Structure 1
Amino acid sequence: MDSLVLHNGTIVTVDGDSRIIKNGTVRVGSDGQITAVEPSSADTTPADADRVIDVDGQIVIPGLIDAHRHTDFTLVQGLFSELQGGELLKEAIALYHRAEADLDDAFFEAAWRLASLRQLSHGVTTVNAMDFTPELGAETLGEAGLRGVIGPELADLIKPAGPETQLAEAREFIEKYHGTYDGRIAASIAPGGEAGCSRDLWEGIAELRTEYPDLQLHTHIYDSPEADTMAAGSGADDTLALLEAHGLLNDRTLLTHVLHAGREEARRIAESGAHVLHCPTIYSYFRAGEQAWFPLPALQEHGVNVAIGLDDPFWFDSWDLLQEAKHARLLANYEYGAQQWTSYELLKTVTINGARALGLADEVGSLEVGKRADLVVLDPKPARHLPFSNLPSVVMNTLTGGDVATVIVDGEVLMYEGTVDSMDPESVITAAEDARDRLQDTTGWATSLAGSSPPETSIARRIAARPTLRVLKQYGQGFLSEHLP
C-alpha cells in the first residue's frame, strides 16, 4: 500500500528522457521512496493509498535545489540594498564582527528559521549552505523537514579564530551532524576561497579532506579580478592550481561564482569533474567592477555541470529560485546571444544539476522510481497563466515561487495548498521581528519602510583588527593598499 499518491497532474520528470506526462500519477511508498511515475488511468486508481492529493490542473516538478546559500544574516535583508558593492562588503564584514560580539544564538536561530520558512514556501527542498552558524542550520533545516548540505565556513582572513580552531570546529560539526535527521542533513567542507583562507588553513583543509574523502568541498573561486593574485599569496600560480596542489579539485568539488574565469579555466574545471555554482543576480545587481561575465559558453562547450544558487540575502533580497534561473538565462543571452539555455535545460540547473553537484543525484533531483519523494506542486490556474503551451517555458519564464502550492520532502507533506505544516510561520515571523529590532538597537542602523542607512559613524571603522593583521601578514602592506578598497 502506498503512503501518498499525487493524481491527475502534469508531471515534469526531469529524468534521462526529459519526459512530461499529462494527467500523470506519482506514487510514494511508506519509506518515502517513489514507487511509480506513470500516466493516470482507470487502472491506476489511488484509492489504496494512505493519502491522495488531487493535483488536477497543477504541475508537479522535482523539489528545487538552492546550490549555494549563506544564511546567517537573513535578518539584514534590505539593509544593504542601496549601497555600492564595495561599501556593502565593508559593512557586511563589519556587521559580522559586531554581531559576533553582541548578538546571541537567538538572533541566528531566528535567522535560520526565517530562512527555512522562506525556502520551503518557495519550493526549495534542498539547501547547500556555507555559514558561520552551521549547527543552528543543521537543526533548523532538519526540524523543518528540509534537506540540507551544510559546511562551517572556513576563512581565517575574515573570521577572528585561527586555522587550528576553525578546523577543530569543522571536525566536530562533521562528526555530530553528518547523516542526521534520517539522512536529510549532510556535512560539507567549506573553505571561503582564495581571498578568505591563508596558506596554513589550506593545508589544514587538505588534511580534513583526506579524513573525510566522501564529503563535498564547497568553495568560492574567481569572484574578483584579483583571484589569481590572492592565490599567489598561498604559493600557487592561480586559483585552480591552488586547489590542485592540495588535492582539492575533483568530482566532489563545488566551485561557486567562477565569474572571472575564462575558456582555459573552463577546460581545466571540466577535466577535473568539478561542478560550478552560478549566482547571477548579485553580480548584475552591483556590477562588481568592469569584468567579463560568467563564462557560460565555455563551460557548456566543455560539459561542466552548472547549478544555480541564491547566495547571500544581504546581497540581493530574493528567495525565488525560479526567478534566479530566469535572471541567469536573460543575463547570459544578453552577454552571449540568445538561446544559451533551453527552458528544460534551465529547469535542470535548479533540480538535477544541483543534485549532481551535491552528490545526491541517485536520491533527488528528478522524479523517478527509487528516488526520494522530494517534489513541488505548482498551481498555474490563476487567470494570468492560462492558457499555455511549451510547459518548460511556462515554468521557467512565467511561474514564480509564489505559484508553489504544495511541497513534499522524503514523502512528507511539509506544505499543502499554501499552508505550511512543518513549521509555525507566526512564531517564526515574531521571533524574526524581535531579533531584527535587537539588531537595529545593537548596531545603530536606522531602518524604516522608506529604506535603511548605516550609523553616522560607519561600523566599518569599528571592526576587529585581527583579520586585517592576518591579511597583512600573508600578503603585505603593499598588496592591501593596491588591491583592497
Structure 2
Amino acid sequence: MKQTLIRNGTVLDIAADGTTATPIPQQDVLIKGNRIDAIQATGAVDARHFDRVIEANGQLIMPGLINTHAHVPMVLFRGLVEDMPIDRWFNEGIWPLENNLEPEDVYWGTLLGMIEMLESGVTTVADHYFHMHHSVEAIEKIGGRALLGWAIFGSLGQQAVNDTADWVEEINGSGTSRIRAWMAPHAPYTCDDDFLRATAKKANQIGVGLHIHASETKAQTEASLSARGITPIQVLEETGIFDQPTLLAHCCGVNERDIEIIAKYQKHEGGIAHAPKTYLKLGEDIAPVTAFREAGIAVGLATDGAASNNTMDLWEPLRLMSMLQKDRLGAEAMPIPQALHVATRSAAQVVGLADDLGAVEVGRLADLVLVDMSGIHHTPLHQIPASLVYNTRPTDVTTVLVDGDVVVENGRVTAIDRDEVVSQAKARMERLSRNRPDQRIQTYNP
C-alpha cells in the first residue's frame, strides 16, 4: 500500500457544525493508500519511510471542493447562449444546441470540464447529463471523483427508466470506488407524475438516490400552483421521489412549506445544490441558503453548466453565495466559516459522502488541495479563511490529490494531454454551434 507524506502545510480545520474555520500551521498529513492516516506536527516522522513526499512549504491544505450539480460536457457550448432569460435560454439556446450532441462529444467535453475543475481544486462532481458511459471513461482516465446521473425526460418512457437503472447498477457494481451513480429524472416540468413514480420506484428497488432539478424559479412554482394546486416540491413528495436520498438542484422558487417538506425528508445523503452564478446570469431568483441551513437541510455549492455559468471553478460561486446572502439578510449573514462549510462538509453530505469527504481528518478519503496564498492578492494575509473565500483564484491551486493520488501537480493535470483535449474541443465548435430552434431536444413550458 502506497504511503504519501504532505510535509509542512497549514491544515484548514472546518468545524463539523460550521461555526469555525481554523488554520493550523506546520502540519504533516500522512496518507496510507487512499485515506488520511495521521495529521501531526511537522518533523515528527521520517520522510524516508514514504513512497512520495509533497513539500507544502506552508501552503494551505484543505479538503477538495465538491461541485454538487453540473452538466460537465456543456463546456462545449460555453459562450453560445448569452443574455437570455430562462425560457429563451432553453428553447432558443441550449436545447436546440444539444440536438447536435454526439456520444463522443460527451467524452471530450467531460475531460475539458474535469481539467478546469481539478486544476481549480474541485475533486468531486455530481454530474447530470447524457451518454454518461463516456463520462465514466473520461473521469476514470483523468482521476476525478464523481456521482453521475444519466438525465432522462418523461417523453422517453419507461424503457429509459429501465435502461438507466441497469446502467446505474452496472456502475455501482463495477468496483470503481471513485465513481457512483444515481437515477436522474430531469425535472417535474419535463417528467409527468407516472414517470416520476416509476423512477422513484426503480431507485428504491436498486437502493440509490435521485438527482433532479426542482423549483428552479418562482415562476415554475407559481405555474405549478396555478395548474395543479401544488408546488413542484409537493409533486416530488407525492410521487415518492423523497423516499430515497435526493439531490435537488437549485430550489430558488420554494416557499416556506416546501422548505419544511425538504427538511422532513433530509437524510444522511442528499440535499440542495446551489449555483448562484447561474441565477444571477439568467436574472432569476436567489435560493434562500440561510433558511435551508436553519431548517437542517444540507446545501452544497454548484457550477451548473458552463452554458449558463461559463466557468467550472467553485471559488466564484463561493463568494457570490456569501455576498448574496449578506445582500438580502445583512452583513452578518453567511459568515466565513459557514461559507467554507457549505463548500466542503455540507457538500459532502449532498453527494452522499458525508463520512468520507469534506474535511482534513484521519480516516477520510485523501481528496486534498494545496493552495498557495503567497500571491499579491492575498497580501497581507491577516485571515486565511477570509482570504480563501474572498480572494482565491483557481490559479492559486498548486497540487490536488484524489483518492490519495496526485492528479494535479504544479497547477496542471497529470494524467492526460491537455493540448489534445483542447484540440478535440476546437474541432467540434462549428458542428456544435449550429442552432435550429425547431429541432430542440425538449420544450421549456413549465
One-letter code aligned to 1:382:
G
Q: In structure 1, what is the equivalent of residue 274 of structure 2?
A: 278
CA contact 2:106–2:130 (8 Å) conserved in 1: no
CA contact 1:194–1:227 (8 Å) conserved in 2: no
Q: Distance in 2 between matches of 1:152 and 1:325?
A: 27
**TM-fit CA distance, 1:323:** 1.3
CA contact 2:248–2:273 (8 Å) conserved in 1: yes
1:335 matches 2:337: no
Question: Which aligned pairs between 1:18-57 and structure 2 lie closer than 5 A?
Answer: 18-29=21-32, 31-41=33-43, 43-57=44-58
Q: Secondary structure at the match of 2:217?
A: coil
Q: In structure 1, what is the equivalent of residue 137 of structure 2?
A: 139
CA, structure 1 residues 156+93, in 2 after alignment: closer, same or farther (shift >3 Å)? Answer: farther
TM-score (norm 1): 0.85
Question: Which aligned pairs between 1:220-239 and structure 2 lie closer than 5 A?
Answer: 220-228=213-221, 231=224, 237-239=230-232
CA, structure 1 residues 138+439, in 2 after alignment: closer, same or farther (shift >3 Å)? Answer: same
The match for 1:357 among 341, 346, 350 is: 350
Q: Secondary structure at the match of 2:72?
A: coil
Aligned pair count? Answer: 440
Q: Secondary structure at the match of 1:220?
A: strand
Q: Distance in 2 between matches of 1:54 and 1:127?
A: 27
CA contact 2:14–2:359 (8 Å) conserved in 1: yes
**TM-fit CA distance, 1:66:** 0.3
Question: Which aligned pairs between 1:241-320 and structure 2 lie closer than 5 A?
Answer: 241-249=234-242, 252-273=245-266, 275-288=271-284, 291=285, 293-320=286-313
Q: In structure 1, what is the equivalent of residue 203 of structure 2?
A: 209
One-letter code aligned to 2:10:
T
One-letter code aligned to 1:399:
T
Q: Looking at CA atoms only, which structure, 1 or 2, has the larger radius of gyration? A: 1
**TM-fit CA distance, 1:198:** 1.4
One-letter code aligned to 1:56:
N
CA contact 1:199–1:234 (8 Å) conserved in 2: no
Q: In structure 2, what is the equivalent of residue 477 of structure 1?
A: none
CA, structure 1 residues 300+462, in 2 after alignment: closer, same or farther (shift >3 Å)? Answer: closer
**TM-fit CA distance, 1:180:** 4.0
CA contact 1:195–1:230 (8 Å) conserved in 2: no
CA, structure 1 residues 414+463, in 2 after alignment: closer, same or farther (shift >3 Å)? Answer: closer
Question: Which aligned pairs between 1:54-93 and structure 2 lie closer than 5 A?
Answer: 54-93=55-94
Q: In structure 2, what is the equivalent of residue 431 of structure 1?
A: 424
Q: In structure 2, what is the equivalent of residue 189 of structure 1?
A: 183
**TM-fit CA distance, 1:130:** 0.7
Q: In structure 1, what is the equivalent of residue 167 of structure 2?
A: 173
Q: Distance in 2 between matches of 1:436 and 1:131?
A: 19
**TM-fit CA distance, 1:172:** 2.4
One-letter code aligned to 1:76:
F
Deviations 1:216-264 (A, max 9, x none): 2111111123434665699672222222223221571111111011233
Question: Which aligned pairs between 1:107-186 and structure 2 lie closer than 5 A?
Answer: 107-157=105-155, 162-180=156-174, 182-186=176-180
CA, structure 1 residues 233+106, in 2 after alignment: closer, same or farther (shift >3 Å)? Answer: farther
Deviations 1:169-216 (A, max 9, x none): 212211221254631100011111111111221121122122122x22
Q: Distance in 1 between matches of 2:135 and 2:99?
A: 21
Q: Secondary structure at the match of 1:182?
A: coil
CA, structure 1 residues 339+8, in 2 after alignment: closer, same or farther (shift >3 Å)? Answer: same
**TM-fit CA distance, 1:386:** 2.6
Q: Distance in 1 between matches of 2:356 and 2:148?
A: 17
One-letter code aligned to 1:49:
F
**Root mean square deviation of aligned Cα:** 2.3
CA, structure 1 residues 98+270, in 2 after alignment: closer, same or farther (shift >3 Å)? Answer: closer
One-letter code aligned to 1:216:
G
One-letter code aligned to 2:391:
T
Q: Distance in 1 between matches of 2:430 and 2:149?
A: 28
Question: Which aligned pairs between 1:389-408 and structure 2 lie closer than 5 A?
Answer: 389-408=382-401
Q: Secondary structure at the match of 2:154?
A: coil
**TM-fit CA distance, 1:421:** 0.9
CA contact 2:73–2:109 (8 Å) conserved in 1: yes
CA contact 2:197–2:241 (8 Å) conserved in 1: no
Q: In structure 2, what is the equivalent of residue 449 of structure 1?
A: none
Q: Secondary structure at the match of 2:47?
A: coil
Q: Distance in 1 between matches of 2:190 and 2:105?
A: 25
Q: Secondary structure at the match of 1:188?
A: strand
Unaligned 5+ segments in structure 1 are 444-454, 472-479
CA contact 1:236–1:242 (8 Å) conserved in 2: no
Deviations 1:358-409 (A, max 9, x none): 1111111111111110000011122332331221111111112121100100
One-letter code aligned to 1:378:
V
**TM-fit CA distance, 1:15:** 5.0
CA contact 2:75–2:310 (8 Å) conserved in 1: no
Unaligned 5+ segments in structure 2 are none
Deviation larger for 147-156 or 270-279: 270-279
CA, structure 1 residues 52+115, in 2 after alignment: closer, same or farther (shift >3 Å)? Answer: same
Q: Secondary structure at the match of 1:60?
A: strand
1:460 matches 2:437: yes
CA, structure 1 residues 391+318, in 2 after alignment: closer, same or farther (shift >3 Å)? Answer: same
CA, structure 1 residues 381+283, in 2 after alignment: closer, same or farther (shift >3 Å)? Answer: same
Q: Distance in 2 between matches of 1:321 and 1:419?
A: 17
One-letter code aligned to 2:179:
I
Deviations 1:426-449 (A, max 9, x none): 111111111123324xx1xxxxxx
TM-score (norm 2): 0.92
Deviations 1:53-89 (A, max 9, x none): 1101311100110000012322110111234443222
CA contact 1:235–1:242 (8 Å) conserved in 2: no
**TM-fit CA distance, 1:269:** 1.6
CA, structure 1 residues 5+276, in 2 after alignment: closer, same or farther (shift >3 Å)? Answer: same
Deviations 1:423-476 (A, max 9, x none): 211111111111123324xx1xxxxxxxxxxx6xxx213446xx56xx9xxxxx
CA, structure 1 residues 123+297, in 2 after alignment: closer, same or farther (shift >3 Å)? Answer: closer
Q: In structure 2, what is the equivalent of residue 446 of structure 1?
A: none
CA contact 2:204–2:244 (8 Å) conserved in 1: no
